[in-house]
Amino acid sequence: MIRHRPFGSGHVYQPSIDQRLPMRPLAGEPVNLGVAAAASVTAVRCEWDGGAFDLRREGAATGPTAGAEGHLATAAAAQRGRSVRWAADSPPLPADRPVRYRFVATDGTRTRRTRWFDVQAVAWSPTGGTLTTHGTSRLEPGTTSWLVDPDQVHRVRFALRLAADEHVVGFGERFDRLDQRGHTLDATVFEQYKGQGSAGRTYLPMPFAHVLGGDGWAFYVDTAERTWYDVGDLLWIEADVTGGHLDVRFYDGSPGDVLAVWLGEVGRPEPMPDWVFRLWASGNEWNTQERVTTEMALHRKHDIPVGVVVVEAWSDESTFVAFRDAQYQVHDDGRPHRLADFTFPPDGAWPDPKSMVDDLHADGVKVVLWQIPLQKMRPHPTGQSAADAATMVARGYGVREGDGRPYRNRGWWFPTALMPDLTSPEARDWWLAKRRYLVEDVGVDGFKTDGGEHAWGHDLRYADGSVGATGNNRFPVHYAAAYGSVLRSCGKAPVTFSRAGFTGSQAHGLFWAGDEDSTWEAMRSSLRAGLTAAACGIVYWGWDLAGFSGPAPSAELYLRATAMSALLPIMQYHSEYNHHRTPSRDRTPWNIAAQTGDPRVLSVFRRYAHLRERLVPYLASSAARTIETGWPLLRSVCLVAPDDPRAWQHPYDYLLGDDLLVAPVVAEGATTRPAYLPPGRWLDLRTHQVLDGASEVEVPAPVDEIPVWCRLETAERHRGLFTSG
């Protein structure tokens, strides 16, 4: 075996062993050529532009890093390749013509050859494409250049002016920091399993940011292609530009003013039902009807009100449409089933899903089911899964490779799976029709639209005419929109719960911060992600309270996370699958109390869960005001006092709506908490002390409390929130 892919697997951060680097090399410079070969290969030679040179054996592939323990980490580790990398640098590339090359490998007595490849050098030029600015331009004259070859434009580079005291906040959901001044980053959708902050990667990027601390303005690089940013004295921007044209839009005003305009252009959030603001509960090991029913009964037993249960491990793990153990006749033509088509064995995992949902509804609990936008192909599908896969291929319902073949997922999670092309109305309707019975017949209330990050490759083809470079980042937007549409068509609110997204995702459902360990740094990282996502117009956002992966959190971390989560737009806990080993890693308050031996866990969680119930009307009205005005429901104090340097020293202080100021404790062992009070007058809801804003304070922070203030002029309206129960 010998393989060379000029653009690799499409992994945006980790080069494949069989690709060329850089993918688009500069004229006059060499390009590093990589080949993946079987271990038995003893020599590899490159035939290049009429000449030839030998490659060096560099060793076995290591594949993607697993990151940490957990069943998802195990899946990542399983993707490590066994091929051997051979590589060498080519001669310098000419500027005026493409070069042809191929590889010849010696494997015992056999000789293996790849097909011929072409590579055309590129160069930076002051001309080549068209950059159009809209609004009050901050484009620095003379900085625009284009990466071109003799036939086309590939990328543009330009700079924006920044004043010395300006800060840059946004770029979608960012785990590493609030203010990106002095840092580099990019905007491309990526599934980073844990450690998002240290890796500088995100599920939900956007090429949009506020510039705060001066006149107040924002910019939007109007593209779905990948962009890069170097936020120094000048803000340097690079963008891939299929077609050779790019629009950059500028907006003047406060963050609220800017968002009111920008969201009208890219997609305005819509009101969600009040129940989304109640406590959400889930665990990956809640994989039977009995287990779900038991966990909900334990909430009642411990007097912990719960509004939503997310059932992740409900399906057959093959079709992701049928409940596990359900019996039914295969539809060879791939047509959808109705609930009446299924028989549920009394001793099966889900003996009566509809009865379960009806009972939960009677108890005031909504039901959300997990989904993945893939048709699983490994192990080889059988039964309905095989019929659905055959239907997708025969009818062209999947995203396609550049050569027309069905795209097979290149990532580590569900490798080789087919991916539905949700830009095709016919494919989308077929995919959703198979899930319609879950809403119409079973009665579920929403979908956890997980895993929207599987579109890898610059050359993928979509039905709407976009290619990988222009369509991949948009896939999670189409995904949530599609599931929202089927809910809406069944008379339900379009409640989707996603981790991936891009520009336009603001209009489609709810979001959570993705996969993280139970650590203090993960807590800080997740809060930064929520604040930056909110600055870009994401209204309904939460995180896996105290982390979902690894050993159970300490009592202190869990209590601090509980208090903070009770004062975020979405409050939810979740836990990773752990093969039902003991001790349990469920993030239920009773399990954390048992694992830590700290009796405060249960009582304090109960108190905050009841606070959450009382906050629902405030959260619902505040979300409506956010949608009306543009001002984020979750807003950093830096957004409301950008001209005060002290505000930037408090990146974890935030307003929840217009009236509540929250200073969560995000450091282990803290007993006091410094906080920044924005301009105005503030009532401490614990001590009832009135304080003047535009100031810093140091307040006590016992482990069972969270510092919260209320605007004095609205204090009577909200005083009872924190004194009841």
- Residue 363: name the closest of 290, 308, 323, 313 by CA: 308
Cis peptide before 22 (omega within 30 of 0): yes
| Known catalytic residue at 341 | no
Q: What distance in Å separates the CA atoms of residue 321 and residue 438, rounded to the nearest whole number?
A: 8
Cβ-contact 652, 527 below 8 angstroms = yes
What are the angstrom distances between the C-alpha of 681 and each of 444, 638, 687, 701?
A: 45, 17, 15, 21
> Tokens in use for 576?
């990773």
What are the angstrom distances between the C-alpha of 213 and each of 254, 627, 647, 648?
A: 10, 24, 11, 10
- Residue 557: name the closest of 592, 514, 511 by CA: 592
Cβ-contact 684, 697 below 8 angstroms = no
Residue type, 474: R
Residue type, 282: S
Residue type, 469: A
Cβ-contact 195, 269 below 8 angstroms = no
Handedness of CA 335, 462, 261, 179 (dihedral sign): positive
**Of 176, 450, 544, 576, which residue is the catalytic one?**
450
| Known catalytic residue at 233 | no
- Residue 624: name the closest of 514, 497, 512, 539 by CA: 539
**Of 453, 556, 586, 659, which residue is the catalytic one?**
453
Residue in the structure block whose two tokens are 């992600």: 529
| Known catalytic residue at 450 | yes
Q: What distance in Å separates the CA atoms of residue 45 and residue 50, rounded to the nearest whole number?
A: 13
Q: In the 3-class helix/strand/coil scheme, how is 208-257 assigned residue by residue?
A: EEEEECCCCEEEEEECCCCEEEEECCEEEEEEECCCCEEEEEEEECCHHH
Q: What distance in Å separates the CA atoms of residue 231 and residue 272, rounded to the nearest whole number?
A: 36
**Of 166, 176, 238, 515, which residue is the catalytic one?**
515
Cβ-contact 526, 514 below 8 angstroms = no
- Count of positions (residues) in the chain: 725
Active site residues: 450, 453, 515
